[in-house]
C-alpha cells in the first residue's frame, strides 16, 4: 500500500490545474458513477461521464467484498467512457467513518500535525493502528487562541477494500474522500454563495441509505445517514403488489408495469415517501431546523442521488418538512464538453452529485 494511504486527504480543492490524469469514481452499492473534469479559464469542465451497474452483492456493510467483479465493472466503465486517466479519486461511505470535532489551542500546521494523533487517542474509539486518520481545521475562536478541528478516522480494511478494487482494474488510487464531504464539495462549487447565510441541507438518496449534511453559513454542522434508500422503495412496491424485485424496480423508475393493470405508482409510493420525509424532518429538526438566537433555521434543501426524482417524492418532502426543496444540479457551474449528451445529463445529473464533488479534487489538496 502506498504511503499516501497513511492519511485520508479530505480537503476541498483550492488550486487551479488540469485534469492531471485524474478521474472520479463514485463506487456505490447499486452503481458506479464516473466523472472526469478539468479546469479551464472559465471554471470546471466535464470531459467524460458514465455509469455502470455494480455487480450484485459485491458491496456489503460499507466494504467491497468482491474486488474482482467490481474491478471488471470499473474497467468496463473506463472503456465505454473513453477515459485515459489512470489516477482515481474515490470515496468511502460516510456511515463507515468516525468523525469527532475537538477544540485545541491555536498552533501552526506542523505542530498540529505532530499533536493530532495524541488528541485522537482520546476521542476515536478504535486502535489508531487500525485506522486511517486525518484532520481539518474548521474555524478559530474570536480571540484567536483556540480552533475547532475535525478528526476523521476510517478502518484501514474499509479503505483497502476500495483501493484493492481500483488497483485490480489497472488504475492508481490517488485520493480517498468521504461521500459527505464530496457532496459538500459539489455544493460549494455550484451554490457556494447561497450557503453563506443560514442553514441549508443536502439530502442524497442512494440505493441503500439517505445521506444528510447540514451546513451553517457554509460550515458543516451535521452529517448522518438514514437507512431508507431507493431499494427500500423497491422492496415496498414489491411487497404491496406481489411483483418481482426486478419488475418493482422497473415500475418505480418508469411507471410502467406489464404484470398487472391499474396500479397507481404515486399512491403506492406515498407510504414509503411519508416514512422517509418524517425521518428527514426529525433529523433536521434536531440539528438545524429550529431557529435560535444563533441560527435562523433551515432555509433550503438540495436533493440529489438516484432516488431524487422518484415519483411524487420531491413535492411530498417539501410539504412535510416545510422548507423549499430544490433538485441539485451537480454540474450547474460546469462547462460541458460537446461530446456529452445534454439530454442524458439533464435527466441523470442528480445521480452524479458525489462523483461531481470528487471530480474537482486532486492529490495534495490542502
Place of cell 489538496: 365
Report how far residue 331's alpha carbon sits from residue 222's, in angstroms, rounded to the nearest whole number.
24
Report how far residue 136's alpha carbon sits from residue 192's, in angstroms, rounded to the nearest whole number.
19
User: Per-residue pLDDT tens for 80-108?
Assistant: 999 999 999 999 999 999 999 899 999 99
pLDDT of residue 11: 39
Place of cell 465493472: 73
Phi, then psi, of 87 in degrees rounded to 5:
-85, 135
Percent of the chain with pLDDT over 70: 91
CA distances to 128, 301, 320, 361 from 323, rounded to whole Å, are 41, 7, 8, 31
pLDDT of residue 16: 34
Enumerate domains of the chain plus CATH numbers: 3-231+271-359 (3.30.420.380)
Angle at 345 between CA 167 and CA 317, to 5 degrees: 100
pLDDT of residue 366: 56
Report how far residue 296's alpha carbon sits from residue 215's, in angstroms, rounded to the nearest whole number.
12
pLDDT of residue 220: 86
Which DSSP string corresponds to 78-122?
Answer: HHHHT----EEEEEE-GGGEEEEEEEEE---HHHHHHHHHHHHHH
64's CB contacts (< 8 A; 6+ apart) are 27, 58, 70, 161, 162, 164, 165
Report how far residue 280's alpha carbon sits from residue 266's, in angstroms, rounded to the nearest whole number.
20
Any idea how long the chain is?
A: 366
pLDDT of residue 288: 59
- CA 190 from chain centre, in angstroms, equals 15
Report how far residue 329's alpha carbon sits from residue 353's, in angstroms, rounded to the nearest whole number.
8
pLDDT of residue 322: 86
pLDDT of residue 296: 67
| Four-CA torsion 310, 314, 319, 324, nearest 10 degrees | 170
Q: Spell out the per-residue pLDDT of the chain, length 366, in tens.
A: 333 333 344 433 333 334 567 999 999 999 999 999 998 777 889 999 999 999 999 999 999 999 999 999 999 999 999 999 999 999 999 999 999 989 999 999 889 988 899 899 989 888 899 999 998 888 888 787 899 999 999 999 999 999 999 999 999 999 999 999 999 999 999 998 776 678 899 999 999 999 999 998 888 888 999 999 999 999 999 999 999 999 999 999 988 888 788 899 999 999 999 999 999 988 888 875 555 555 567 889 999 999 999 988 899 989 988 889 999 999 999 999 999 998 999 899 999 999 999 999 887 775
Cell numbers placing 317:
418532502
Amino acid at each position: 500500500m502506498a504511503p499516501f494511504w497513511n492519511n485520508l486527504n479530505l480537503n476541498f480543492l483550492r488550486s487551479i490545474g488540469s485534469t492531471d490524469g485524474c478521474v472520479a469514481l463514485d463506487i456505490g452499492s447499486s452503481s458506479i458513477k464516473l466523472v472526469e473534469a478539468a479546469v479551464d479559464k472559465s471554471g470546471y469542465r466535464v470531459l467524460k461521464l458514465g455509469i455502470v451497474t455494480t455487480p450484485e452483492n459485491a458491496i456489503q456493510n460499507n466494504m467491497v467484498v468482491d474486488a474482482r467483479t467490481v474491478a471488471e465493472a470499473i474497467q468496463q466503465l473506463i472503456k465505454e467512457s473513453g477515459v485515459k486517466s489512470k489516477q482515481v479519486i474515490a470515496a468511502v461511505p460516510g456511515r463507515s467513518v468516525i468523525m469527532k470535532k475537538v477544540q485545541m489551542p491555536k498552533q501552526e500546521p506542523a505542530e498540529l500535525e505532530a499533536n493530532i494523533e495524541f488528541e485522537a487517542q482520546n476521542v476515536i474509539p478504535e486502535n489508531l493502528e487500525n485506522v486511517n486518520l486525518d484532520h481539518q481545521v474548521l474555524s478559530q475562536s474570536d480571540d484567536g487562541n483556540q480552533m475547532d478541528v475535525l478528526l476523521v478516522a476510517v478502518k484501514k480494511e474499509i479503505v483497502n477494500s476500495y483501493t484493492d478494487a481500483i488497483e485490480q482494474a489497472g488504475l492508481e488510487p490517488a485520493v480517498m474522500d468521504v461521500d459527505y464531504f464530496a457532496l459538500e464539495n459539489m455544493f460549494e462549487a455550484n451554490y457556494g454563495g447561497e450557503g453563506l447565510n443560514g442553514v441549508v441541507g443536502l439530502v442524497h438518496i442512494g440505493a441503500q441509505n439517505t445521506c444528510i449534511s447540514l451546513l451553517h453559513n457554509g460550515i458543516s454542522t451535521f452529517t448522518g445517514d438514514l437507512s431508507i434508500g431507493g431499494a427500500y422503495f423497491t422492496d415496498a412496491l414489491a411487497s404491496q403488489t406481489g411483483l418481482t424485485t426486478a419488475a418493482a424496480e422497473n415500475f418505480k423508475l418508469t411507471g410502467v408495469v406489464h404484470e398487472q393493470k391499474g396500479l397507481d405508482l404515486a399512491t403506492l409510493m406515498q407510504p414509503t415517501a411519508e416514512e422517509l420525509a418524517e425521518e428527514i424532518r426529525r433529523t433536521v429538526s434536531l440539528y438545524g431546523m429550529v431557529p435560535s438566537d444563533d441560527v435562523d433555521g433551515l432555509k433550503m434543501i438540495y436533493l440529489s442521488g438516484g432516488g431524487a426524482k422518484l415519483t411524487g417524492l420531491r413535492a411530498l418532502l417539501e410539504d412535510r418538512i416545510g422548507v423549499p426543496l430544490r433538485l441539485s444540479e451537480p454540474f450547474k457551474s460546469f462547462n460541458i464538453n460537446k461530446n456529452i449528451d445534454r439530454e442524458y445529463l439533464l435527466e441523470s445529473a442528480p445521480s452524479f452529485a458525489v462523483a461531481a464533488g470528487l471530480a474537482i479534487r486532486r492529490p495534495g489538496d490542502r
